[in-house]
Amino acid sequence: MERYDIAIVGGGPAGLSAAYSASREGSKVILFEKDASIAHNIRTSGVTWISSMDKLGISGSFYNPIKNYSFISPSNEIMISGERAESCVLDVRRVYQHLAFEAAAAGTKIMVRSTVHDIIKDMSGNLAGLKVSTPEGNLTIEACMFIDASGFNSVVAKRMGVVNGWNSYGVGAEYECYCEKVEVDTWNLMVGSSYSSAGYAWVFPVSKNRIRVGVGTGKPYSNEDPTTQLHSILQKKLKPLDRMGRIEPVEFHFGFIPNDGIQRPSVYDRLILVGDSAGQSNPLVLEGIRYAIEFGRLAGAIAAKAISKGSYKESLLEYENVWRKQIGSKINSALKVQSRWMGLSDAEWDREIDILRDLSAEEFLDFIKAEFTTKNVLKLAMNHPKLAARNLFNLVLRR
């Protein structure tokens, strides 16, 4: 049986980033990805923030910069324009493959087409190994430490019996499309019942003639199938598609994202959960890539150090403390805004986006990024004294 220091399940941004940092710390690392290649099946829209990508070393060649933000409701529409690009739409496949090559260069053994289907426990009931089906047949490996970066399904943690499924989650369907007329520096978020009965739709520009059009639906709030809804939006050419000329879907994307906030522990004996598997996502715009990369690197480095020190659970708690301190209260505040947004009628949405109309691009982005520091929210409430705006901002101050 092959033996590794660290075995990682999942070749998304969390697993690849953990693999990179653990390998750099000198650990012997193996990573399993069930798909035929890294980023073979895309499960994300790839919107993120330029400052975060700069910090993580993802250069401008990997994304399309965005400086205008359009918000469309059934009978209202606003545009918030920034002086410079603060957000971006990633070339997701290229970014994830870049992360994979970084991990491989640092020494990680990457196995694609390899599905982890079971775990092995030692005599004390601790996680000791993985059973994997690979193109060469079934493989069993042992490791000192395991990182569950399998995304929404948290396969290892579920097999260990330490977590159940998510209660609240988002389901998204998206087409990457050829598009005749693209405003390449503008994203569009669309809300209201004709777009999504509990969630929103989007048009994100990827490049000159390329867009991603998608729909996200919040479960269990709605039974709507986002794929059916997406087809309806495309077929009816709802705003803003009506002004974008010919649109031809060329690639389908589909995925799930947890939306329970910070509920489950992310550290168990010899096991770390990272990325979606740990619930590290901002529920306001279904985004988690920046957290997956940042906390993936943190998890890998801490796991490697724990092995060299020979102390597992205690060392791993450092990981849990760091990420929770950084985003825990922000995600919980974002959930409050999200639950308000889930319940809005079309007429209420028309009024709600008027609150956002008065925000500067910087304020809008802090809000949508869930940068709910007390200072930011107090500043928002003071700069926007209208009653409706105060109600919205006060919501996130009540922690």
Using CB under 6 A as the binding rule, whether residue 289 contacts ligand FAD is answered as yes
Backbone phi and psi for residue 263, each to the nearest 5 degrees, phi listed first: -110, -55
Q: Output the CA–CA distances (angstroms, integers) from residue 220 to 47, 68, 192, 217, 232, in the order listed.
A: 24, 32, 18, 9, 21
Considering only residues 19, 30, 47, 145, which one is a binding residue for ligand FAD as defined by CB under 6 A?
A: 47
Using CB under 6 A as the binding rule, whether residue 288 contacts ligand FAD is answered as yes
Residues in the chain: 399
Residue 116 or 157: the one with the smaller Cβ distance to ligand FAD is 116
Least distance to ligand FAD from the beta carbon of 11, Å? 5
Least distance to ligand FAD from the beta carbon of 244, Å? 19
Using CB under 6 A as the binding rule, whether residue 192 contacts ligand FAD is answered as no
Backbone phi and psi for residue 90, each to the nearest 5 degrees, phi listed first: -75, 150
* Among 145-153, 187-195, 233-241, 361-369, the segment contacting ligand FAD (CB under 6 A): 145-153
**Token duo for residue 391:** 């109600």
Residue carrying the six token digits 């990827």: 206
Using CB under 6 A as the binding rule, whether residue 45 contacts ligand FAD is answered as yes
Using CB under 6 A as the binding rule, whether residue 261 contacts ligand FAD is answered as no
Total residues at interface with ligand FAD (CB under 6 A): 39
Considering only residues 8, 18, 20, 32, which one is a binding residue for ligand FAD as defined by CB under 6 A?
A: 32
What residues form DSSP beta bridges with 89? Answer: 47, 64
Tell me how far apart the alpha carbons of residues 262 and 229 are, in angstroms, rounded to a whole number: 29
CB-CB contact of 187 with 70 (8 Å):
yes
Least distance to ligand FAD from the beta carbon of 163, Å? 14
Using CB under 6 A as the binding rule, whether residue 206 contacts ligand FAD is answered as no
Tell me how far apart the alpha carbons of residues 324 and 320 are, in angstroms, rounded to a whole number: 6
Using CB under 6 A as the binding rule, whether residue 297 contacts ligand FAD is answered as no
Tell me how far apart the alpha carbons of residues 299 and 8 are, in angstroms, rounded to a whole number: 11
CB-CB contact of 173 with 227 (8 Å):
yes
**Token duo for residue 287:** 């985004």
Using CB under 6 A as the binding rule, whether residue 150 contacts ligand FAD is answered as yes
CB-CB contact of 381 with 389 (8 Å):
yes
Using CB under 6 A as the binding rule, whether residue 275 contacts ligand FAD is answered as yes
Site string for ligand FAD, 88-127 (x = CB under 6 A): ---------------------------xx-----------
Using CB under 6 A as the binding rule, whether residue 34 contacts ligand FAD is answered as yes
Backbone phi and psi for residue 13, each to the nearest 5 degrees, phi listed first: -60, -35
If we measure between CA atoms, which residue out of 62, 3, 9 comes closest to residue 34?
Answer: 9
What residues form DSSP beta bridges with 3? Answer: 142
Using CB under 6 A as the binding rule, whether residue 286 contacts ligand FAD is answered as yes
Considering only residues 21, 52, 281, 376, which one is a binding residue for ligand FAD as defined by CB under 6 A?
A: 281
Q: Output the CA–CA distances (angstroms, integers) from residue 125 to 269, 273, 321, 357, in the order listed.
A: 10, 18, 25, 56
Least distance to ligand FAD from the beta carbon of 111, Å? 9
Residue 358 or 371: the one with the smaller Cβ distance to ligand FAD is 371
Considering only residues 163, 257, 272, 359, which one is a binding residue for ligand FAD as defined by CB under 6 A?
A: 257
Using CB under 6 A as the binding rule, whether residue 87 contacts ligand FAD is answered as no
Using CB under 6 A as the binding rule, whether residue 283 contacts ligand FAD is answered as no
Using CB under 6 A as the binding rule, whether residue 66 contacts ligand FAD is answered as no
Considering only residues 6, 7, 8, 11, which one is a binding residue for ligand FAD as defined by CB under 6 A?
A: 11
Strand 199-207 relative to strand 186-190, pairing: antiparallel
**Token duo for residue 28:** 């012997």
Q: Which residue ranges make up the site for ligand FAD (CB under 6 A)? A: 9-15, 32-35, 43-48, 115-116, 149-151, 153, 155, 172, 174, 216, 255-257, 275-277, 281, 286-289, 292
